[in-house]
Amino acid sequence: MLLGLVVCGSISAQRGWEKMSSGVVKDLNDVFFIDSLEGWTVGNSGTILHTADGGILWEIQPGATTSFFQGIWFSDDTTGWVVGSSGTMLRTDNKGENWSAANFPIAQGLTDIMFCNPLNGWIVGDLGIIFHTFDGGEKWQYQFAGVEQSLLSVSFTDVNNGWIAGSYNFGWLSHTQNGGIEWTDFPLPIDDLTYCVFFISPYRGWAGTGSMVMYTDDVGDTWSEQLLPEGSGNVTDLFFINDMQGWALTEKYIYYTGNAGMNWELQLQAENSAAFSAIYFTDAQHGWVVGSSGLVYRTTDGGGTGLQEIDISDRIVVFPNPAIERLNIRLEDPFCTGTDLTMEIYDQAGHLLFRDMSLKSNELQIPLNGMKGPVTIRVSQKGMSGSCVVIIP
């Protein structure tokens, strides 16, 4: 069984990021879209903006407050949440035609919100605040991760597995495997503050710090440094649409990776005194960035960097399948002999079992070393990548 294989190619449509007019001059701090057309952005002085055409036109949605809004999330196509200063939380059940104050039990600032499904969501904020709902926001239960500093970011991949990041005095994250009932600290091997965290699976994720992205594919047991160019500034937001393609945002730059962050490529630099604050994608092509003084950018081609996919599934040959002691792989054109190949093997849960980043032959033999069950073999080289599933009895 072969899965999707991709190769970077040219895109004939309009490329890159296009600056849009939001119609406001207030700083915008977060953005969320439910599809490629309909979305919202929130910001200072109670600003809530809505678009139904992908960001070309924006309309103000009154929220009856002047709070400093920090985060927005929609738990389904109609139900949305906004959080901000002084414990402010607004809710809508009709796509923002009406926003009303939700009953929230604290007055500290709220910085981020996310739902992993329509019922289960988390909010983080100042003084180490964490709240969880299991009933779609009717009730919120307090959780505690053992710190009293501001928490800036939360990321859950399912109802059990989640991460929080904060403005601690060194690189710091905390992880839960039971929905936040218990949290385990994961200090990062750096001195910079941790501004954001994004996990694409329970095992694989990224954290943003000062001019660096930290990466793990083993539930945080080990972290590797993914450096951005000198002078990039702090990594304040991250977004991945799959385990390979993602974007890192600093105040001045947007960077893209097509190989899980092994390489980052500059897509856009902010103009003059403008500053980026948040990024969101609905798929590999459609994305938005918001920032200071009403700044909005959108892209309809992934930012213009090699996101057109071409299926070359028949160029990877794997045998035998099922495999017992070793796996033979033959790579046919356009894979290139003599140029570094990356080989990865993952189990069904996405846990990395094997990696070699310096293979140079198109005839590969991989020892299975006790691996069992269905595993995914992934091969990548120079923008090309492919994967297939192998059964190991």
DSSP-assigned states of every residue in 346-389? E-TT--EEEEEEEE--SEEEEE-TT--EEEEEEEEETTEEEEEE
Residues 367 and 222 in one domain: no
Burial of 322 (0-12, 13-18, 19+ CB in 10 A): exposed
Q: What is the dihedral of CA 111, 71, 238, 95, to 10 degrees?
A: 160
Residues 228 and 83 in one domain: yes
* pTM of the predicted structure, to 2 decimals: 0.77
Residues 172 and 217 in one domain: yes
Residues 90 and 227 in one domain: yes
Write down the pLDDT at residue 3.
29
Dihedral sign (CA 26, 29, 33, 36) = positive
Write down the pLDDT at residue 240.
97
**For the chain, what is the domain count?**
2
Enumerate residue ranges in the chain where pLDDT < 50: 1-14, 306-309
Instruction: Tell which of 238, 270, 299 closes a domain.
Output: 299
Residues 109 and 197 in one domain: yes
Residue 308 belongs to a domain:
no
Q: Which of 327, 381, 290, 332 is nearest to 23 (CA)?
A: 290
Q: In CATH, what number is assigned to the domain containing residue 61?
A: 2.130.10.10
Residues 102 and 28 in one domain: yes
Residues 184 and 240 in one domain: yes
Residues 260 and 323 in one domain: no
Residue 342 belongs to a domain:
yes
Provide the residue range defining the domain that includes 370: 313-392
Looking at the DSSP assignment, which residues form a beta bridge with residue 359?
A: 341
